[in-house]
Every structure is written in structure tokens, then in C-alpha cells.
Chains A and B, each alone.
Chain A
């Protein structure tokens, strides 16, 4: 339940429909499902297996409550809400996995599914809200999401976006799966746990997430306007378009409340999960207590989150989203596959994957993990670099006025990566010295 809470987040209800709308509707689903089968599920197993054999992480978690700004009319309530969300995250992290995260997931996940199912049914029953525009209906929106547009498949960025979405939505490459997996016993079933997490997440994303935001926006604003809204980012879709769409329907306040509650639960269960690796690292590597680690996570959230809230309109978050949420996750996943499939040892890898597994993993996944998935990612990354890297780095298409904000965003990402690198290096150096001293004593 906790892992499903971690996996099911804003990516399911905002990022997925936005990407599907941006990358050719139904055509996006083809690379998406290819990535799910060749990358998502194998990597889910890899991450669960990688860590459950070693118990080196303990109680924790944390996040990125950057959201909500566009919906609010001024910054004050947005920042107030954000501070409350940061405080709530810290409190949950400080209580640890059992007393904090697990309890949160037990309450939040059933409510999240209930709200999402109610909203999906309501959207499907929307019909054609304005008879003057017969082409504006939820079914037209569904058609847009599902009708394949094969021309989009010729671009590497669509395939990279689909792979990035799979990693983002399944929380692969973020370290949180390894944290949860470290709580499993040696003979616990990683195969079924990983598969169930992926399947539950896909139900929330493809069936529910794909049925709510885009179809409702199309029924309210039409297809062309929805594409424009989606191209402006997930938050415009979720926090600007959706409230307006709810306003126009009977009992709209009720459905708007369900929508924002749904996003809140999706966000908070994921956000605590995303901080878990950092909190656990601080606890294990530097001996900082649970409350101290939670406070440090909170301070980092405040330092990194405030610019997100303030500069959201300048595309500050989009840089995080692409370089961390798409490119970075694909890169980490590639490194992970190389470590697990090649360095860990092929027979050991396969044995660990099957240990305690009620679900027998087909042998083809051995070859997928070792050869196909790394090759797939390598082709994607090289292909994207060849096709789009200069355009992306030089910020082609971004308004010149936004360039300082975008570079600040990139600088922040680089700074965080460098800081984490230094922390890991220091810990690693001390750890080696301690080991040598221990050997010397023996």
C-alpha cells in the first residue's frame, strides 16, 4: 500500500494526460506501453530485488509540494499552502515508515481511488455540456487521448518522454523503491510486489488519469484550447483548466473538492516517498536522528521549493521536470541496469529475482534486463542527444525573458547533484577508513 502510494502521484493525473496530449494523443501510448514492458516492469523488479537483499536503510521519507500556485489568485495563499504541505511532509517523515508513511497510505490510497473513480464516472457522463459546440464532449477528449497518430512516433523526444513518464510514474530511478525494498525479508516475493505496484499504478494512470483531465478539458474548452493548455504545462491543466471546467457543471464545487483532494493525496503520498532516500541516507551514513533528518529534508524543500513557487510561470519547474524527471531518470535507469545485469553477475541477478517468487518471471525478462532494456535506453539517449540536445541546451523556443530563470533552475539541479556527490564521497571515504581500521583490529 505504501509503495502504491509512492508510485501513484501527480504524474498519474496531471503529467500523463498532459504528455499524451502534447505528443500526439494515442500515438504516445505506443511508446508508453513499449517502455512499460521493456523498461518499467523489468526495472521495477531490478529495483525491488537490488535492495531487499540488503537491509541498510531504515525508517523514513519526503517531497516536492511545488504545485498549486497557478490556481491561487495571489502568492500568499499559495506559499501558505506550500508551507503547510512542507510541514506535513516533515512530520510524516519524522514518524518513520510504519507510524507515518504506512498510516498515511492506508487512509489516503482508498480515498484517492474512490475520488478518482467518482470523477472518472462523472466525466464520462458529461456528454456535450454546451449544445452550441457539439464537438466538445468527453468522448472527443477520449478519442484524442486514444486515437493513434503514428507520425509522432518518428521523433526521439516522444519515445524519451514516454520512457521518462514510465520512470516518473513508477518512481524508478528515484531511490524510493530501494528504500521500501530494504524492509522486505530475504525470501519475500519481489516479483509479485513489483508487478502489483506497477499494475495498480497503471490502472490509476491509464484508466483513471487518462479519463479525467483531458476529456473534461475537451468537453469544456474544445480540442484546440485543450492542446494549448496542455502545452503550457501540467499545472495549467490541473489548477487552472480543471476548476473552470468544474464551475460549469452542477455540483461543480463538490467535484472540484474531490479533484483537489485527489491531487493532494496523490502528491503527499509520493512526496514523502521521494524524500525517503535522502532522509535514510542522512540517518544511515551520518547518524542523524529521524527528526533531524526530517528537519534537514524540510529545509532543503524550502530552499529548493521556493523558487519553484515563485518562478513557476517562467518555466522554472519545466527544467526540473525534463532534466531530472525525464533525462535524469533515463540515465539513472541505464546505470542501474548495467550495475544489476552486468556487474552484479548474471546468474546471481536471475537467482535473486526469482527468490521467493510466487510469480514465475518468464525467461525472456533475463534477456530484456541484460540486453534489450540497456540497449533501448542507450539508443533513446543517444538518439535524443543527436536530435535535440543543442535545441534543448540553447533553450530554443523559450522566451528570452525566461532564460535567467531557466539557467538558475539548471544551476540549482547541478548544485544539488554536486552536493549529493560530495556527501556520498565523504561517507564513502569514512566508511573505507572504518573498514580498514576494523580489519586492522582483527
Chain B
């Protein structure tokens, strides 16, 4: 796996995971 592909994959993983967690906490904290 090239560095570029790894960075692309990890960026998407972190962004998607963080967004999901943020939105769930926002809903639960209401």
C-alpha cells in the first residue's frame, strides 16, 4: 500500500468515525 493510499484511507476513516460519534453524542445529549 502506498503512502498516498494509506493517508487517503486513514483520513476517510477518521473523518467518518469522528462525524458519526459527534452526531450520536449530539443526539444523545439532548
* Total contacting residues, chain B, CB less than 8 A: 17
**Chain A residues with Cβ under 8 A from B23's Cβ?**
192, 195-196, 199-200
Overall SS of chain B's interface: helix
Known: A199-B19, A203-B17, A207-B16. A143 touches B5 (CB 8 A): yes
Do A146 and B5 have beta carbons less than 8 Å apart? yes
> Which chain B residues in 1-30 approach chain A with CB under 8 Å?
1-2, 5, 8-9, 12-13, 16-17, 19-20, 22-24, 26-27, 30
Closest to B28 in A: A196
- B14 to chain A: closest CB distance in Å? 9
- Tell me the complex Cα distance, A193–B19, Å: 13
Q: How far is the CB of A348 from chain B (nearest CB, A)?
A: 26
Instruction: Determine which residue in B12, B23, B26, B30 has the highest number of CB atoms from chain A within 10 A of its CB, and name it.
Output: B23
Q: How many residues of A contact B (CB 8 A)?
A: 23
Q: In the complex, A192→B16 CA distance in Å?
A: 16
Q: Is the CB of A203 within 8 A of B5?
A: no
Q: Which residues of B contact A199 (CB under 8 A)?
A: 16, 19-20, 22-24
Please, how many angstroms separate the alpha-carbon atoms of A359 and B22 in the complex? 12
In the complex, what distance in Å separates the CA atom of A193 from the CA atom of B27?
7
Chain B residues near A148 (CB, 8 Å)?
A: 5, 8
Decide: B5 and A26 in contact? CB cutoff 8 A.
Answer: yes
Q: B residues near A, CB below 8 A? A: 1-2, 5, 8-9, 12-13, 16-17, 19-20, 22-24, 26-27, 30
Q: Which residues of A contact B (CB under 8 A)?
A: 26, 29, 33, 139-140, 142-143, 146-148, 189, 192-193, 195-196, 199-200, 202-203, 206-207, 358-359
- 9 tightest Cβ-Cβ pairs between the two chains A and B: A196-B23, A203-B20, A143-B1, A199-B20, A146-B9, A199-B19, A199-B23, A147-B5, A200-B20
